[in-house]
Structure 1
């Protein structure tokens, strides 16, 4: 079968979530499952996390929230980061979702359309992306708190770098805006969770670390991508491989053509810096990554491989992301629809 296999280890996923939860033991551990469970399949990821004990889930849109409600049933709370957008009222109401209101306008929309329906508030503590700024919050704070919001949250801009001075600035701003309120608070996703109890508050929102990514250095790999070899050929010194003649053999080489490409989320730009593994042997990608095919130098492999590992125990999503000049989030959420998907450990 010339189709790559993406194996998602739900046991590793749950272990990562559990370990992040233990690092913030005084806070309730939520779970971020937006973007189809970071590309790994929310229909598998979310039930596994719910079974492990997650009771608060976070998605980006009301549409994602409605789908998640269908998967999880009545019990868990589902918070929508993008808040209450125009036309969302039926989804929010029927899905029993909690929009995280990001502006005075969203608050007015929500209270008029769905009076008495649960909501949360997102505050801007310096990221300048989503959330009420201090003056807006001051203007509606008493009205909002009188409605008993389910959560007051903000988001850290630089939590992947614990030493960045922005973290302390945002923590101070969040405390200034929320200290003394009678509502649960949340500031930290994965990075903030790892920075210690000052950042934990009442609810944490682990995301990328659950799926095996940085800044959770101790994360177990969750995504394992195995790509079949279609053909192996001998290439003599001076011969080239792939479009544009960008790679030329300098020794007698064995070149495997593998069945994946940029149509599958293997970014074309990473070719110059990327490797795969044939067994325990690290093998260089050679030539350009094309839509469906990639060349790999397997000359030094102990035996001719039937497949190679693109993601898994030998290299993480962040290793591959570095080769592409991007981040692990983009690697995960770009993984293509042509893969055969298998789930283990759930």
Structure 2
């Protein structure tokens, strides 16, 4: 192969959903935005629908249309960005449920699609999307007469269980919604793991489905194999890659792999990560460049000439890579290049 090969375990995604679902006594939805966190929204959504998911969350209406094509007419597909200007036809034609975020969006939706399902997003302190408490108080009675499908908010610090913001937002959400006869949702993956107080009627895990923190018990979803383009001998004192950041201290063997930051493998990953040949790990030598990664395989059996090496597997998952790069698993997963060949198991 000439490009990396991304293997996506659909059965692991389904098992992660089932395991998270088993942690609650309420409905468990699934977040499949950003093309299913880079895994392929259609394939992921069909898998999760087969597993029992009946609500899906996407970021924008275009994503919702793709998921509708994949799962058919039954499940609810909620659009987190709401009813944006120009989205009316997509929302209507694909039976999407926009989560309305502002007074303008409420007016746009009621005027253009008065019989179309909708939900409302409330701002409980994140100051990103949603009606603020004063706006909700002014609109609440009118909005409730239109029978919204869901009231939701989003936690800012759910991946830090002891953060004061979690309780503050929970209190705000209850103050805005207690006593209303409408399904409610506050918890994504992190909120789900905070416990029953945060579950309400619907939870909506995202990153936990795909093997990432804060769901530490998640099954591994992604394996990334990279092709070896060349193996060369390097003499002591010779350097490898841009900037002369790695210099051989002994006679060395260097494998050059066909992948780089153009494939979503950040340059910041250069120090600290390993490439695997089976269970044996080998360090990167020098900097990751646009299309190439150099690996020190001096300790490998000199008669062995691997054709592929593995970057992501159950020994080095997405969060381990993200930690090295100073980022989060979400970013790394969603940046995985379309240049990779993708295949699915399970």
Structure 1 residue aligned with 2:61: 62
Q: Deviations over 1:170-224 (max 9, x none)?
A: 0011011100000000000000011110000000000000000000000111011
Structure 1 residue aligned with 2:14: 14
Structure 1 window deviating more from structure 2 (185-194 vs 322-331): it is 322-331
CA distance in 2, matches of 1:14, 1:146: 37
Aligned residues of 1:273 and 1:324 also touching (Cα < 8 A): no
The number of residue pairs the alignment matches comes to 344
Aligned residues of 1:271 and 1:288 also touching (Cα < 8 A): yes
Structure 1 residue aligned with 2:195: 196
CA distance in 2, matches of 1:143, 1:4: 53
CA distance in 2, matches of 1:213, 1:331: 10
CA distance in 1, matches of 2:151, 2:233: 62
CA distance in 2, matches of 1:111, 1:230: 58
Q: Deviations over 1:121-152 (max 9, x none)?
A: 00000000000010000000111111111000
CA distance in 1, matches of 2:242, 2:116: 57
Structure 1 residue aligned with 2:101: 102
Map residues 1-346 of structure 1 onto 2, 5 A cutoff: 1-24=1-24, 26-302=25-301, 303-345=304-346
CA distance in 1, matches of 2:184, 2:289: 47
Aligned residues of 1:152 and 1:183 also touching (Cα < 8 A): yes
Aligned residues of 2:26 and 2:199 also touching (Cα < 8 A): yes
Aligned residues of 2:43 and 2:70 also touching (Cα < 8 A): no
Name the Cα RMSD after superposition. Answer: 1.0
1:274 offset after TM fit, Å?
A: 2.2
Aligned residues of 1:120 and 1:152 also touching (Cα < 8 A): yes
CA distance in 2, matches of 1:95, 1:311: 36
Aligned residues of 1:237 and 1:249 also touching (Cα < 8 A): yes
CA distance in 1, matches of 2:338, 2:30: 24
CA distance in 2, matches of 1:208, 1:77: 20
1:116 offset after TM fit, Å?
A: 2.0
Aligned residues of 2:31 and 2:57 also touching (Cα < 8 A): yes
Aligned residue for 2:291, secondary structure, equals coil
Q: Deviations over 1:30-86 (max 9, x none)?
A: 000011100111121110000100000000001111111111111000000000000
1:273 offset after TM fit, Å?
A: 2.5
1:253 offset after TM fit, Å?
A: 1.5
CA distance in 2, matches of 1:317, 1:139: 44
Query: Any gaps of 5 or more consecutive residues in structure 1?
Result: none
Aligned residue for 1:131, secondary structure, equals coil
Aligned residues of 2:38 and 2:333 also touching (Cα < 8 A): yes
1:4 offset after TM fit, Å?
A: 1.2
CA distance in 1, matches of 2:168, 2:300: 51
CA distance in 2, matches of 1:3, 1:181: 53
Aligned residue for 1:7, secondary structure, equals strand
Name the TM-score, length of structure 2 as normaliser: 0.98
1:2 offset after TM fit, Å?
A: 2.1
